[in-house]
Chains A and B, each alone.
Chain A
Amino acid sequence: MSDGIGRERPIGEFERQVRDYARAWATTIDRRNLLKAFGAAGVGAIAAGRLNLTEASPAPGAVAQRVRRAQAGTKLRIARGQLTDTLDAQKTVALVAHEIMWQIYDSLIYLDETGTVHPGLATEWTFSDDNLTVTYKLREGVNFHDGTPFNAEAVVITVERHRDPATASPSAYMLGPLDKAEAIDDMTVAYVYTEPFVPMFVGLGYSYCAPISMAAVEKFGEQFGRNPVGTGAYKFVEWTADDTIVLEKNAEHGWATTFYSVQQPPTVERVEFAVIPEDATRLAALEAGEVDIVAGTDAVPIDKIRSLQETPGLQVVTRPMVGLYYNYINVQQKPLDDVRVRQAMNYALDKTALIELVLDGNGIPAVSPLGSAFGDFNPNLNAYEYDLDKAKALMTEAGLEDGFDLKYIVIASPIYQRAAEVIQESLAAINIRVNMEAYPVADVFAKGPGGDYGMLFFYYTYSDPDVLYLVCNTDGGSLAWSFTDDKELNDSTAGQRIEFDKEKRRELLWKAQERVNDQAYWMFLWEGVYAAAMREGIQGLNLDLVGFLHLQELSVTE
């Protein structure tokens, strides 16, 4: 079978599961249930076999770009909206830290959205017969920024620190049921698990699990988070008094992972990440030429994309988000238990108008609980095109033409609140009186499971259809906040997790989507974009699946 990079080679069952699974960025798979499923499928069905995976060639379709010679002393200033908490890879799970740590640390492997695993600090890996041990061959000739050598020993003590209770790492769960990491020889390390761990590549592809210099940890102790040392393309220089983080090119970083579409050593000499919390100020700084790039989580307000594109001297890079914005409808609350009411709510909203108004057109209407970028997206669903008459008719049929009151929890952020206001207006047309309550994202997370609401605004970014389990399966999904009692939905979402046959998995996923769409358990809203804005003359700015840029791919022509 083809392994995604066009080469034919036999591939073990477990390896395939691992690599298929590797599409997910995070998971709540209950490993015990998964293993029971393994047992049911028959351990014998899992082909044993040692497999070799050699260095993948650059991702299909990538064109090797000619490197333009950067001028000596090239400097870039990047503005973001939020402060980074720490640059200690093991002490944070925040994306605002990951954005920068990505440049300072290299990971053992890199995942892309097609599920291909690219070599990083590990160039080859093999699975043991019982699938409990993965042995990685490490890249030669790599040093940490402080000069200490990168080798198996470094990986082992990194893992030890990661799992040490004294470190109190919020990302330790990403290592899974790891028994230990052990150095086989100077450049070979084995990760030994107590149970076969299908999601192993997910955690390893994040900067949170990246090898760090233990010499630096010893030297800086608690202050390592302010003096990080990794092997990455950029070295940490300084964390200034005004929270600007300064990085400088690591001239010794002679390799690039095939995950990057631009294969070059780092060219920009010096990069400063400044924080400007206020949207208007940040964009003013870009227009005034004080910063070169505005990028990062929510750094470019969606409704400013058009005006930025029209500003001479500036360019905007966008990328469709693999994700979805929607409202959970709490079906446990009357009269939301009536499918006609829920469908009426969907018909009453003009999604296209909402996108025009609130997002300035930067988005597409959502119709499925799965984003349309997924291969397993079901194209045969009801789009709930705006039809106020139909909505009213459904409400009358349900005996509710006088409407009812509805409590709506929204994430407190200008764009989402504006969207919520449009929804409020739209539902008012069918006599549903919406009471909006806006909370910061952390609070919304806390309120979700309680179900003390009629409707809750939410969104996800994910790279595997497995997200449907999380958001729809009321047996085990931690985000299944429509509180449905739907056996068919639960069965199909649980079933797709352990279905290895691609066709059968698709069938299950289509069925799950159909169920949510048909029963209108959600109000489907929109699918968004990531954006970064910059001045002209900067090349290579590609946004990845979580909307980040990679400094190593950048070059400046003027």
Chain B
Amino acid sequence: MGSYLVSRLLHMAAVLVAVLILVSTLLRLVPGDPVDAIMAGNPGITEADKVRLREQLGLTDPILVQVRDYSLGLLHGNMGESLRSRDAVLPLIVDKLPATIELTVFAMLIAILIAAPLGVITALQRGRPGDFIGSIIAVLGISIPSFLLGILLIMVFAVQMRILPASGYGGSMVAALQALITQGDIDPLLKSLKFLLLPGITLGVGVAAYNARIIRSSIIEVVRQDYVRCARAKGLREQAIFWRHVLRNALIPVVTILGLQIGYLLSGAFVIENVFAWPGIGRFSVQALGWRDYPVVQGVVLITALIFLTINLLIDLLYVAIDPRIRLR
């Protein structure tokens, strides 16, 4: 286990280095540079001023030098500063990350809440009307662009019915839970939930539909296995068979997918964050990209990659816990 962990961590480090180099160079190949973005619309600026500014911002050094300096900074936990606002990048990202994580986690929960019953029902009702209806719902969920779904939900629940807010953030969920536990005050939690509901549902629906299909086919696959037939032959009740044998085995592929879906959710959150004005790193980095704010974009990509890799590592370890057939090499 120990050596497996070490080799995985080294692997992660290698991936992160590759990501860093790739992102830094690709960013700088995009036409337009931060100074042009800062100066856009200001004809009063002379070339000399632009050059002076570029020098001051450290943009005139060769790319490799810039990457090297950035990497050295990373080793000291310094991710540089935003070219626009001159604020340190790491604190900025750490500041906005919790909002994105809350949204992603909430979306995942919603996804599971929808996907599990939907998947199970359609699997057990295979071939019958229940399956048919469930499949339609799943396909709809997969097909609707999240962007469109978001706007539709806003139109219905915020503008027409006025029961949920159109956009914004209601305070940290974590803080709200703390308030509930320590002070018995449920208001922060309700407020936080109110704002989390629409973006969370929008983000979760696509993933839910996908998961539902996976759960369905996984269950169907497992139910056909010999050991299930054997369990029936032994006289075990259907219920017991289902919970003890079928479901646990059917969930294994789903757990794998979950890891990949975190990546999808994190990137989907970027779009949803823009639609709902959710103050996470998604909305922030979209604007930073428009400004060619290299340090910020690099920082966001690296941190997202780190999160993604860590979660997948955890999932792999989780695998071992739930599937006794798997041994770590």
Contact = CB atoms under 8 A, between A and B. Distances in A.
A329 interface: no
B17 to A, nearest CB: 29
Nearest to A461: B41
A106 B279 CA distance: 30
B99 A290 contact: no
B130 interface: no
A444 to B, nearest CB: 9
A461 B158 CA distance: 36
A22 to B, nearest CB: 14
B277 A275 contact: yes
B36 A445 contact: yes
Chain B facing A: main interface SS = loop
B238 interface: no
A93 B38 contact: yes
A443 interface: yes
A274 interface: yes
Interface string B44-85: 111001000100110000000000000000000000001011
Contacts of A445: 32, 36, 39-40
B31 interface: yes
B290 to A, nearest CB: 6
Given A93-B38, A281-B275, A288-B158, A174 B166 contact: no
Contact residues on B (Cβ < 8 Å of other chain), bracket: 35 or more
B45 A443 contact: no
Given A446-B33, A446-B36, A170 B53 contact: yes
Among B40, B87, B96, B154: residue with most chain A CB under 10 A = B40
B154 A95 contact: no
A93 B39 contact: yes
A135 B151 CA distance: 56
Interface in A255-287: 274-278, 280-282, 284-285, 287
A94 B40 CA distance: 8
B246 to A, nearest CB: 43
A285 B167 contact: yes
B44 A440 contact: no
A445 B165 CA distance: 38
Given A173-B45, A173-B49, A442-B37, A290 B86 contact: no
B277 A443 contact: no
Interface string A445-466: 1110000000000001000000
Given A288-B158, A440-B32, A242 B277 contact: yes
Nearest to B284: A83
B276 interface: yes
A94 B38 CA distance: 7
Interface stretch (A84-92, A389-397, A424-432, A499-507): A84-92
Interface string B94-107: 01100100000000
Contacts of A94: 38, 84
B155 A284 contact: yes
Nearest to A286: B166
A460 B159 CA distance: 36
A50 to B, nearest CB: 29
A276 B82 CA distance: 21
Contacts of B278: 242
A26 interface: yes
B294 interface: no
Nearest to B293: A85
Interface string B135-169: 00000000000000001001100110010011111
Interface residues of A, number: 53
Nearest to B171: A241
Contact of B57 (A168, A222, A243, A276): A168
Contact of B46 (A91, A173, A285, A479): A173
B87 A26 contact: no
B286 interface: yes
Given A277-B277, A288-B162, A443-B31, A85 B291 contact: yes
Contact of B31 (A95, A170, A274, A446): A446
A289 B276 CA distance: 16
B25 interface: no
A289 B159 CA distance: 9
Contact of B43 (A26, A91, A170, A288): A26
A478 interface: yes
A441 B41 CA distance: 9
B158 A284 contact: yes
B217 interface: no
Contact of A440 (B33, B82, B86, B290): B290
Nearest to B165: A290
A225 B95 CA distance: 17
B182 interface: no
Contacts of B168: 242, 274, 290
Contacts of A460: 43
A174 B44 contact: yes
B125 interface: no
Nearest to A277: B274
A202 B82 CA distance: 29
A319 interface: no
26 contacts: A86-B84, A88-B86, A93-B42, A94-B38, A95-B41, A170-B38, A170-B53, A172-B49, A222-B87, A223-B87, A225-B87, A242-B168, A242-B277, A281-B151, A281-B166, A281-B167, A281-B277, A282-B167, A284-B159, A284-B167, A285-B166, A285-B167, A290-B167, A442-B40, A446-B31, A447-B31
Interface of A: 26-28, 82-83, 85-86, 88, 91-95, 165, 168, 170, 172-174, 202, 222-223, 225-226, 241-243, 274-278, 280-282, 284-285, 287-290, 439-443, 445-447, 460, 470, 478-479
Given A85-B82, A168-B56, A280-B275, 8 more contacts: A170-B45, A225-B87, A284-B159, A290-B166, A440-B32, A441-B41, A443-B36, A446-B31
